[in-house]
Amino acid sequence: MNEKLLKALQEQLNAEAYSAYLYFSMASWFESENLTGMAHWMKVQAKEELEHAERFYNFINARRQKVNLLPIDGPKTEWSSPLEAFEDAFKHEQVVSKRIHDLLALAIEVKDYPTQEFLQWFVKEQVEEEAAAESIVRKLQLVGDSKNALFMLDHALGERGE
């Protein structure tokens, strides 16, 4: 495997683990605000990010390469509102999408067809990830200062399946 591509795949594994940390941090903040439905949504999201990291881990191993785990930066821990937290989640997913697109461009550049195929799942996944986060941002914008609407949205987000 191309050395530059391998390094980029390992960095993406790290970025997926960081995403899990970020969403666990958001879940913790929501818990502290007694918004348990939003906390649940974030915990499910964190677990999904760990699954993404594992996909990269398994792919690198399947290509007979050694996985080198990198340190995971500590995430932000405080938000001023649920809207700010979900705006951060949406922005984060946009960053992840760009990372995936850059990885795919590199795989195309070095003509690594297995990696191109592998990354297609993530390209599709990121469309869903961005849409989900943006949808909640838009709902929170509609909610405004309504505590009743926030309570209803919190309840609805708590229904997210694992």
Domain map (residue ranges) of the chain: 3-68+82-157
Low-confidence residues of the chain, pLDDT below 50?
none
CATH architecture of the domain 3-68+82-157 equals Up-down Bundle (1.20)
Residue-wise pLDDT tens digits, 84-110: 999 999 999 999 999 999 999 999 999
Q: Considering only CA atoms, which of 44, 55, 43 is closest in space to residue 15?
A: 55
Q: Which pLDDT score, from 0 to 100, does residue 124 have?
A: 98
Provide the whole-model pTM. 0.94
The secondary structure of 94-147 as a DSSP string is HHHHHHHHHHHHHHHHTT-HHHHHHHHHHHHHHHHHHHHHHHHHHHHHHHTT-H
* Cα distance between residue 153 and residue 44, in whole Å: 16
